[in-house]
A and B are shown apart, each in its own frame.
Chain A
Amino acid sequence: MAYIHLDGVSRQYGSVWAVDRVNMAIEKHEFVSLLGPSGSGKTTLLRIIAGLERPTQGRVLIDGEDVTELPPHKRGVAMVFQEFLLFPHRTVYENLAFPLRMLKLPKGEIEARVEWVVGILALRGLETRYPNQLSGGQQQRVALGRGLVGRPKVLLLDEPLANLDRELRQEMEVEIRKHQTGLGIPFVYVTHNQEEALSMSDRIAVVRGGRIEDFASRADIYDRPKTAFIAQFVGRSSRFEAIVAGGDRRLALRGDGILIEAESQPGLALGERVAAYVKNEKVRLKPAEPGGADAPNALPATVRHVILRGAYAEYVLGWSGGELIASRPRSEAEFAEGAAVTAFWNAADVDLFPVSEPGR
């Protein structure tokens, strides 16, 4: 029996199903991310676990107990909000002590626990300040501390890093994951940022239109996307449209002036339209050589722009059918803007999905 169970949970607003028949099982030591675009229902799902929203249908179980009917203050959960939502009339110390006072812990215990959280989150010296006297990063640490201090059954995090700048965000990612491992309680983390989800999670649930598109390990989500949406949303990739042209162990696909070879997939019929995704970092480059244009998974192209991303260079390539991006380590041979190259990739790195509606 998993620690947190969502059993056919749905939430309706008017005629819209913000959350639609969601089933999830989260283990006790897991860090789970709900990853999806804005409006996909991931925050609503989190608020349902917290008890701030009531599901229209379905049940929520935490630690074996059906909490569907329980108000938030009786669930023993905690939450870190995107806007921090620290109590503005309370000092940092009082904010951190709030969940403990609600638990009616003795005074000494409260002091010890606040002291502990002040220590692990590097908040020493800020205890007597008010939230409006703190920087964004400090407010975020207090918000995280307030979430951890009561040792909740589960910590829910609603885009907690969205208001921080990039550098601070990466620092906090490491820290959040560290505390999750240390405390051994499940974290459910809502984000629209795939890098955050990939850097911290054990498993990722990709949410789209109120439904769970896939719930799998982060490696599976990234390397073996189950749907076209996931292939598009997680990681950065280039997309080709093609028609299944034949093949046995390997499928041959024919698009506009491109020959793609991919590993065989069940359920794809001859002549079917498919979308093929190749992740940017799987596209490799070599100098253009005359006559090699007909090989599969090789594309003659011209370097249009080079974007330096520190350890990586992103090559924006123009080819007869549009644009394609190759992300290569800087340690490899570099190509100048305007250079003629051949972009190529392995058949195993092509993700194929049938195209249901034309143009998508």
Chain B
Amino acid sequence: MSMKLGKWKPGKIALLATVAVSYLFLYLPVVHIGLASFARNSNFPYPPKWSLDIMTRLLSNSLYQTALGNSLLIGVFAALLSTALAGLATIGLLRHAGRRAPVYLALFIAPLFVAEVLLGISSLIFNGLFLGLQGNIVSAILANVVHCFSYAVLIIATQLYRYDWRLDDAAMVFGASPARTFFEVTLPLIWPGLLGAFIVTFIMAFNNLEISFYLLGATPTLPSAAWGALRYGVKPELYALATCVNLIVFTLLAVMFVLMMTGAATFGHRPERERSAV
């Protein structure tokens, strides 16, 4: 059999190898934990002996159930709040800020560069002193909103930057009130950006350890329960927990991916053929 030399140049082999190694590095730990959480031999699941024991143990543990509930609460409300605020902030930034827009933008995204531990501590103190909020779940949601907001602004801005505000003029001239204009024209054209921001901020708040930890103390979230469980050694339940969290995150990303592939939403990316119309 003769090998086609042109097809297997050394450069191409090196490139493919690099890609393969990179992906292995990224995803092998996740795959390992995934296998381990569905196997009886969870310490070294090669080959795995399939079993749902660990999953069942996790799901019957009331600590993890409470933690999941809290994490979902924090995730959903922090995402809703930060997406709504960031949407309004971005509209203001693009429509009304004028020449000072870069300054406002810089201040909107500055929280990205503050260590989360510090955000957690300062939010705890501020919320307690000035808002009269003791460390509780409301306080934790508010603190998460601070840095989620910055990400949401960046995501929404990429979508809104391309939006032609003269479409709003057109809608109003044809009889739509400002509110009607927003729901009939603006929102249907920018919702992918809002959904993208919602999903990303949900994942961030859901996964957050440092900020939530400072504001919640003994109230568990999934990351803090996992962190706490470390004191008693790495138990199989932790494998199952990590797998569950990963599944939630991957499901959300898969939703975004499918929407993008089917062209239902663009999340800021716009194929060439659609550009002329907007």
Task: Indicate, yes or no, whether A interacts with B.
Answer: yes
Nearest CB in chain B: distance from A81 CB, A: 6
The answer to whether A16 has its CB under 8 Å from any CB of chain B is: no
Structural contact, A88 and B173, CB atoms closer than 8 A? no
Structural contact, B166 and A131, CB atoms closer than 8 A? no
Contact partners of A86 in chain B: CB under 8 A: 277
Contact partners of A78 in chain B: CB under 8 A: 173-174
Size category of the binding interface on chain A: 20 to 34
| Stretch of B88-96, B131-139, B175-183 contacting A (4+ beta carbons < 8 Å) | B175-183
Contact with B along A76-109 (1 / 0, CB 8 A): 1111010101111100000000110011000000
Residue of B at shortest CB range from A146?
B174
In residues 32-66 of chain A, which contact B (Cβ within 8 Å)?
50-52
Contact partners of B274 in chain A: CB under 8 A: 88, 132
Nearest CB in chain A: distance from B176 CB, A: 5
Alpha-carbon gap, A73 to B178, bound state (A): 9
Chain B's interface: helix, strand, loop or mixed, by majority?
Answer: helix
Contact partners of A150 in chain B: CB under 8 A: 174-175
Structural contact, B164 and A85, CB atoms closer than 8 A? yes
Structural contact, B167 and A85, CB atoms closer than 8 A? yes
| Interface residues on chain B, number (Cβ under 8 Å) | 23
Contact with A along B257-278 (1 / 0, CB 8 A): 0000000000000000110111
Contact partners of B178 in chain A: CB under 8 A: 71
Structural contact, A102 and B180, CB atoms closer than 8 A? yes
Which of B173, B177, B278 is A79 in contact with, Cβ under 8 Å? B173
Contact with A along B156-191 (1 / 0, CB 8 A): 000000001011011111111110100011001100
Structural contact, B173 and A131, CB atoms closer than 8 A? no
Contact partners of A132 in chain B: CB under 8 A: 273-274, 276-277
- Which of A77, A87, A98, A132 has the largest number of chain B CB atoms within 10 A? A87
Nearest CB in chain B: distance from A40 CB, A: 20
The answer to whether A8 has its CB under 8 Å from any CB of chain B is: no
Contact with A along B103-122 (1 / 0, CB 8 A): 00000000000000000000
Alpha-carbon gap, A150 to B175, bound state (A): 10
Nearest CB in chain B: distance from A7 CB, A: 22
Nearest CB in chain B: distance from A146 CB, A: 7
Contact partners of B177 in chain A: CB under 8 A: 71, 73
Nearest CB in chain A: distance from B262 CB, A: 15
Alpha-carbon gap, A77 to B276, bound state (A): 27
The answer to whether A130 has its CB under 8 Å from any CB of chain B is: yes
Residue of A at shortest CB range from B172?
A72
Structural contact, A87 and B185, CB atoms closer than 8 A? yes
Structural contact, A50 and B173, CB atoms closer than 8 A? yes
Contact partners of B166 in chain A: CB under 8 A: 81, 83, 85
Alpha-carbon gap, A59 to B189, bound state (A): 35
Structural contact, B171 and A87, CB atoms closer than 8 A? yes
Structural contact, B278 and A72, CB atoms closer than 8 A? no
Which of A52, A88, A99, A156 is B175 in contact with, Cβ under 8 Å? A99
Structural contact, A77 and B173, CB atoms closer than 8 A? yes
Contact partners of B273 in chain A: CB under 8 A: 132
- Which of A86, A102, A130, A156 has the largest number of chain B CB atoms within 10 A? A102
Which of B170, B173, B184, B277 is A130 in contact with, Cβ under 8 Å? B277
Structural contact, B277 and A85, CB atoms closer than 8 A? no
- Which of A98, A103, A131 has the largest number of chain B CB atoms within 10 A? A98
Contact partners of A146 in chain B: CB under 8 A: 174
Say whether, besides A85-B166, A85-B167, A89-B189, A71 and B174 are in contact (CB < 8 Å). no
Contact partners of B277 in chain A: CB under 8 A: 86, 88, 130-132
Structural contact, A102 and B174, CB atoms closer than 8 A? yes
Nearest CB in chain A: distance from B206 CB, A: 31
Alpha-carbon gap, A102 to B173, bound state (A): 10
Nearest CB in chain B: distance from A51 CB, A: 8
Please give me the 5 A-B residue pairs with the lowest Cβ-Cβ distance, nearest first.
Answer: A102-B175, A132-B277, A99-B174, A88-B277, A85-B170
Excluding A73-B176, A98-B184, 9 further A-B contacts by CB distance (< 8 Å) are: A50-B173, A73-B173, A73-B177, A83-B164, A83-B166, A89-B188, A89-B189, A102-B175, A150-B175
22 contacts between A and B (CB under 8 A): A51-B173, A71-B177, A72-B169, A72-B172, A73-B173, A73-B175, A73-B176, A73-B177, A73-B180, A77-B173, A78-B174, A81-B166, A83-B164, A85-B164, A85-B169, A85-B170, A87-B171, A98-B171, A99-B174, A99-B175, A102-B180, A132-B274
